[in-house]
Structure 1
Amino acid sequence: MTSSVTQAIGTAVHENRPLTLGGISDRVFARLFRGLVYAQIWEDPVADMTALELTEADHIVCIASGGCNMMSYLTASPSSITAVDLSPAHVHLNRLKLLAAENLPDHATFYALFGKANRAANIPAFDRYLAPHLDDDAKAFWNGRTLSGQRKAMFRKGLYRFGVLGRFLGAIQTFAWVTGVDLRRLLKAQTLEDQKAFFEAEISPLYEARLVRFLARRRSSLFGLGIPPAQYDKLAADAGGDVIPVLRERTRRLFCDFPISENYFAWQAIQRSYKGDGTGPVPPYLEARHFDTIRANAGRVQILNQSVTDMLAEQPSAAKSVYVLLDAQDWMSDEQLNALWSEITRTAMPGARVLFRTGGADDILPGRVGEALLDRWEYDADASRRAFENDRSAIYGGVHLYRLKG
Structure 2
Amino acid sequence: MTQTATFTAADATSRLQNAVRQNPLLSRAGMAEYVFASLFRKLVYTQIWEDPNVDMEALEIEPGQRIVTIASGGCNALSYLIADPARIEAVDLNPAHVAFNRLKLAALSALPDYETFYRFYGRADDTMNVDAYEHFIRPVLDRETRSYWEGRTLSGRRRISMFHRHLYRHGLLGQFIGCGHLVARLYGIDPRQLLQARTMEEQRHLFEETIAPLFDKRLVRWLTSRKSSLFGLGIPPRQYEALSGNGSGGMATVLRERLERLACEFPFSENYFAWQAFGRTYSDGEDASLPPYLLRGHYETIRARVGRISVENISITDLLAEKPDASVDRFVLLDAQDWMSDAQLNALWREITRTAAPGARAIFRTAAEENLLFGRVDASLLRRWDYREVASREFHRRDRSSIYGGFHLQVLKG
In the alignment, structure 1 residue 346 sits paired with structure 2 residue 342: no
Deviations 1:71-100 (A, max 9, x none): 111111111100000111111111111111
Q: Which residue of 1 aligns with 2:320?
A: 312
Aligned residue runs from structure 1 range 7-406, under 5 A: 7-148=14-155, 149-240=157-248, 242-277=250-285, 279-406=287-414
Identity of aligned residues (%): 53
Q: Confirm or deny: 8 A CA contact 1:284 1:290 kept in the other structure.
A: yes
2:282 aligned counterpart, secondary structure: coil
Query: d(CA) in 2 for partners of 1:245 and 1:264?
Result: 24
Deviations 1:181-221 (A, max 9, x none): 12111111111111111111111100000000011111112
2:329 aligned counterpart, secondary structure: strand
1:118 aligned counterpart, secondary structure: coil
Query: d(CA) in 2 for partners of 1:86 and 1:388?
Result: 26
One-letter amino acid of the structure 2 residue matched with residue 305 of structure 1? N
Give the Å deviation of 1:271.
Answer: 2.2
One-letter amino acid of the structure 1 residue matched with residue 74 of structure 2? G
One-letter amino acid of the structure 2 residue matched with residue 315 of structure 1? K
Deviations 1:137-170 (A, max 9, x none): 1221111111231010011111111110010000
2:36 aligned counterpart, secondary structure: helix
Aligned residues: 406
- Normalising by structure 2, we get a TM-score of 0.96
One-letter amino acid of the structure 1 residue matched with residue 50 of structure 2? E
One-letter amino acid of the structure 1 residue matched with residue 21 of structure 2? H
Give the Å deviation of 1:241.
Answer: 7.0
1:321 aligned counterpart, secondary structure: strand
1:366 aligned counterpart, secondary structure: coil
Q: Confirm or deny: 8 A CA contact 1:116 1:278 kept in the other structure.
A: no
Give the Å deviation of 1:278.
Answer: 6.3
Q: Which residue of 1 aligns with 2:3?
A: none
Query: d(CA) in 1 for partners of 2:201 and 2:35?
Result: 41
CA RMSD of aligned residues (A): 1.1
Give the Å deviation of 1:277.
Answer: 4.5
Q: Confirm or deny: 8 A CA contact 2:195 2:279 kept in the other structure.
A: no
Query: d(CA) in 1 for partners of 2:148 and 2:255?
Result: 35
Query: d(CA) in 2 for partners of 1:208 and 1:280?
Result: 33
Query: d(CA) in 2 for partners of 1:2 and 1:94?
Result: 17
2:311 aligned counterpart, secondary structure: strand
